[in-house]
C-alpha cells in the first residue's frame, strides 16, 4: 500500500490534465447502469487505458472509462466499469477508483451494483439502498503495510454508508414515488452465480441482496474518510425455493430497465452537494 499514494497522484494528474474541475462526488456505475453517464453534460471521457496504474475492466456491460462533467449542475467523476476480484484483481486494485477520488480530494462516493435479491419481498427491477454490508470475498483492500496518509490502520466500519445521505435519498425516492428498499448487501467472489445453498446461507447471515463487488470500494472509501451512498438494483431473484437459471445478459437488461429510477435518486442527491 505504501506505493499506492504516489501511483494515484500520477493517475489524478493524468485525469486533471484533461478535465480541471473539482468534483463534488465520484459515482461508480455497476453492471447495466452505465447509462447514467449519458446524463453527464459537458463530459470528457477518459479510457482506463489512459489512466496510469489502472487495471482494465473486462466485465460485460462495463465500458471501461471515466466520464467527467456536470450532473445535476454539479461536477462529478463517473466510472463506467469497475475492477472485480473475479477478473483476477486484488481487493486493492478493485478499490483503485476510490483511491483516485481520494487523490482528487473528492469528499463523497455513490456506488451502485446489480445484485440478486435474497429478501423474499424483492422483485426484479427493485432498488435497494445499502444500509450495511457483509464481505464474503475473503480479501480486503487494506491488507498490507498501512499508509497513514491514506487512512488509519484500523478504520471504524460501524456505519459504512452515510446515514444522512440515506435519509436524503429516501426522501427523494418518496417524492418521486419510487419504491426504495433498505437492506444489507453481501459480496461474494464470483464469477459464478450462487447455488441454492449459498443463497440460503447469505440470507440466514442477514443479507438482503448478493453481488460480486462494492465492499472493496466502500471499505477503502471509509478508510479515506469519504461519505458513501450505495444502491443495488435487483436483477434476479435469489430465493432458493423459487430459483431459476441466471444469465449475465438478463442481469444487464434488468439493470438497464431500472436505471431511470436510480438516475432520479442519484441526480437529486448530487444536486445538493
Convert the pLDDT of each residue in 195-241 to its tens digit.
989 999 999 999 999 999 999 999 999 999 999 999 999 988 866 66
Q: Domain span at residue 237?
A: 12-144+158-242+267-271
The count of other CB atoms within 10 Å of the CB of residue 88 is 10
- For residue 175, tell me if it sits in a domain: yes
The count of other CB atoms within 10 Å of the CB of residue 111 is 27
Three-state DSSP class for 65? strand
What's the rounded Cα separation, in Å, for the pair 168 and 183? 16
The count of other CB atoms within 10 Å of the CB of residue 245 is 7
- For residue 259, tell me if it sits in a domain: no
Classify strands 227-237 and 108-117 as parallel, antiparallel or unpaired: parallel
Task: Read off the pLDDT of residues 76-93 as tens digits, 9 standing for 90 and up.
Answer: 999 998 899 999 999 999
At residue 203, the pLDDT reads 95
- For residue 256, tell me if it sits in a domain: no
The count of other CB atoms within 10 Å of the CB of residue 163 is 10
Whether the CB-CB separation of 153 and 253 falls below 8 Å is answered with no
At residue 36, the pLDDT reads 83
Residue 110 has pLDDT above 60, yes or no: yes
- For residue 255, tell me if it sits in a domain: no
**pTM: predicted TM-score of the whole model, two decimal places:** 0.93
How much is the average pLDDT of 240-259? 65
- When divided into structural domains, the chain yields a total of 1
- For residue 252, tell me if it sits in a domain: no
- For residue 151, tell me if it sits in a domain: no
* Average pLDDT of every residue of the chain: 91
Residue 243 binned pLDDT confidence (cut-offs 50, 70, 90): low
Helical pair 248-257 and 259-271, crossing angle rounded to 10 deg? 50
- For residue 2, tell me if it sits in a domain: no
The conformation of residue 109, written as its DSSP 8-state character, comes to: E
Residues in the chain: 273
Task: Read off the pLDDT of residues 6-39 as tens digits, 9 standing for 90 and up.
Answer: 999 999 999 999 999 999 999 999 865 677 888 8
Residue 3 binned pLDDT confidence (cut-offs 50, 70, 90): confident
- For residue 163, tell me if it sits in a domain: yes
What's the rounded Cα separation, in Å, for the pair 37 and 79? 8
Q: Residue 138 maps to which CATH number?
A: 3.40.50.1580
At residue 64, the pLDDT reads 86
Radius of gyration (Cα) for the chain, nearest Å?
A: 17
The CA distances from residue 158 to 29, 184, 266, 272, in Å, are 24, 13, 24, 25
At residue 242, the pLDDT reads 62
What's the rounded Cα separation, in Å, for the pair 261 and 128? 11
What's the rounded Cα separation, in Å, for the pair 55 and 227? 24
What's the rounded Cα separation, in Å, for the pair 231 and 131? 9
At residue 74, the pLDDT reads 97
Question: Hunting for cell 437459471 — which residue is that?
Answer: 245
Amino acid at each position: 500500500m505504501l506505493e499506492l499514494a504516489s501511483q494515484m497522484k500520477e493517475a489524478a494528474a493524468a485525469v486533471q490534465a484533461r478535465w480541471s474541475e473539482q468534483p463534488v462526488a465520484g459515482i461508480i456505475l455497476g453492471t447495466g447502469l452505465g447509462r447514467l453517464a449519458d446524463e453527464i453534460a459537458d463530459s470528457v471521457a477518459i479510457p482506463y487505458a489512459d489512466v496510469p496504474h489502472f487495471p482494465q475492466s473486462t466485465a460485460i456491460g462495463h465500458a471501461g472509462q471515466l466520464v467527467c462533467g456536470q450532473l445535476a449542475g454539479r461536477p462529478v467523476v463517473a466510472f463506467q466499469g469497475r475492477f472485480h476480484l473475479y477478473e483476477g484483481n486484488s481487493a486493492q486494485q478493485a478499490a483503485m477508483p476510490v483511491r483516485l477520488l481520494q487523490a482528487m480530494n473528492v469528499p463523497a462516493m455513490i456506488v451502485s451494483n446489480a445484485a440478486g435479491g435474497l429478501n423474499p419481498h424483492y422483485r426484479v427491477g427493485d432498488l435497494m439502498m445499502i444500509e450495511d454490508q457483509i464481505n464474503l470475498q475473503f480479501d480486503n483492500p487494506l491488507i498490507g503495510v498501512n499508509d497513514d496518509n491514506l487512512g488509519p490502520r484500523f478504520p471504524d466500519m460501524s456505519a459504512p454508508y452515510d446515514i444522512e445521505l440515506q435519509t436524503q435519498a429516501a426522501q427523494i425516492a418518496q417524492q418521486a414515488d419510487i419504491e426504495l428498499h433498505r437492506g444489507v448487501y453481501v459480496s461474494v467472489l464470483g464469477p459464478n452465480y450462487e447455488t441454492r445453498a449459498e443463497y440460503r446461507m447469505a440470507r440466514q447471515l442477514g443479507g438482503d441482496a448478493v453481488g460480486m463487488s462494492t465492499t472493496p470500494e466502500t471499505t477503502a472509501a471509509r478508510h479515506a474518510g469519504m461519505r458513501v451512498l450505495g444502491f443495488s438494483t435487483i436483477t434476479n431473484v435469489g430465493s432458493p425455493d423459487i430459483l431459476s437459471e441466471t444469465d449475465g445478459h438478463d442481469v444487464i437488461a434488468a439493470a438497464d430497465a431500472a436505471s431511470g429510477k436510480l438516475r432520479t435518486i442519484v441526480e437529486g442527491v448530487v444536486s445538493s452537494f
